[in-house]
A = this chain, B = another copy of it.
Amino acid sequence: MKIAVIGLGYWGPNLLRNFLAISELEVLGCEKDRKRLEKIKEMLPSASYITDYNALLNDNDLKAVAIATPVGSHYSLTKEFLENGKDVFVEKPMTKSSREAKELIKIAEEQNAILMVGHIFEYNDAVLKIGELIKGGEIGDVQYITSTRVNLGIHRKDANVLWDLAPHDFSILFNWLDSDPVSIATTAKESIVNGIPDVAFIQATFPSGMIADIQVGWLAPSKIRETVVVGSKKMIVYDETNPQEKIKVYDSGVEIEDPHDYGEFLLSYRSGAIHSPTISTREPLRTEMNHFVECIRERKKPRTDGFNALRVIKAVEMAEESRMKKKMITI
């Protein structure tokens, strides 16, 4: 089976390397910047390379493409390849609007093609483990979630911080909760480059009454990837940067004591055990790439298909609308 990776900038070579590790694949890399291409060739000599993706559109041997180009070209490239009957994996965000996302979903259906989006955290074993704990009822009703996803110093020119980082948080939350926000409020700031917000705060309310606060930024004292899930029974702290204790489950909670007189109540502190379950050290990208190849071979619906992508894009659109109109957006 022949597969091509289009766009070998920052992330594309990782896709290439992972495809090369899957047996019985013929792997092709495509990058228009020749200098860049030479570098990748040296690092990954066992793939073939071309500079113009147009040659791929009518390559009958080519089964599928993985698109890792700048965000602005995701829609048009995905569309072209779907229309030429190729299966497509495209990095997140799949498109820059829900209208475009819906169109791609429709084309994929018509072509009976696989359309998969790179929501990589849905292939992360820590995220999946937390999903099990939530769905299995172990932590009780989810009351609120906070998530902080900040870097130092990697600015992008093809997307602002909302389109760059918030899709990760939304895809994680939707995976866990299977529910869309009913209202979103966003406040953002352009600290470094005019017109490109690089820090944003997002509040979201869900139908159950659960609320979330998401902080995304390119400008912080240190890299943070921390998500806290507070349930009525237990609480979870998920720190992606802590290799040894990625997940900590806190038994502690509060208990309401009997009121000692009318109208009063006391809440006593109930401290409890803390547990860090074993998380496999499998690389999420490997799992993701394997899943794409499996979906192609078995004609299965990907776990992160066009509808997942659309759901996330809708949420980012709400956040963007809130940011630009400076008001809370309610559906």
Contacts and interface: CB of A to CB of B under 8 A. Distances in A.
Interface of A: 42, 45-46, 143-144, 146, 152-155, 157, 183, 185-189, 191-193, 199, 201, 203-205, 209-211, 213, 215, 217-222, 228, 230, 232, 235-237, 244-245, 248, 250-254, 256, 263-278, 281, 322, 326-328, 330
A189 B209 contact: yes
Given A201-B211, A210-B189, A326-B328, A267 B155 contact: yes
A183 B326 contact: yes
A193 B255 CA distance: 11
Contacts of A256: 192-193
A186 B278 CA distance: 36
The SS class assigned to the A binding surface is: strand
B254 A219 contact: yes
Contacts of A203: 185-187, 201, 203
A254 B191 CA distance: 11
19 contacts: A143-B189, A143-B219, A144-B189, A153-B253, A153-B254, A154-B269, A157-B264, A185-B328, A187-B203, A189-B211, A201-B201, A201-B211, A201-B213, A219-B254, A220-B228, A221-B235, A221-B248, A326-B328, A326-B330
Contacts of A228: 220-221
A268 to B, nearest CB: 7
B221 A152 contact: no
A144 B219 CA distance: 10
B144 A265 contact: no
Contacts of A236: 221
Given A45-B45, A143-B219, A256-B192, A269 B201 contact: no
A185 B188 contact: no
Contacts of A235: 220-221
B252 A191 contact: no
Contacts of A268: 153
A328 B327 contact: yes
A153 B204 CA distance: 24
Given A189-B211, A252-B221, A267 B153 contact: yes
Contacts of A185: 185, 187, 203, 328
Contacts of A326: 183, 205, 328, 330
Contacts of A244: 222, 271, 274
Given A213-B201, A328-B327, A269 B187 contact: no
Nearest to A42: B46
Contacts of A276: 273-275
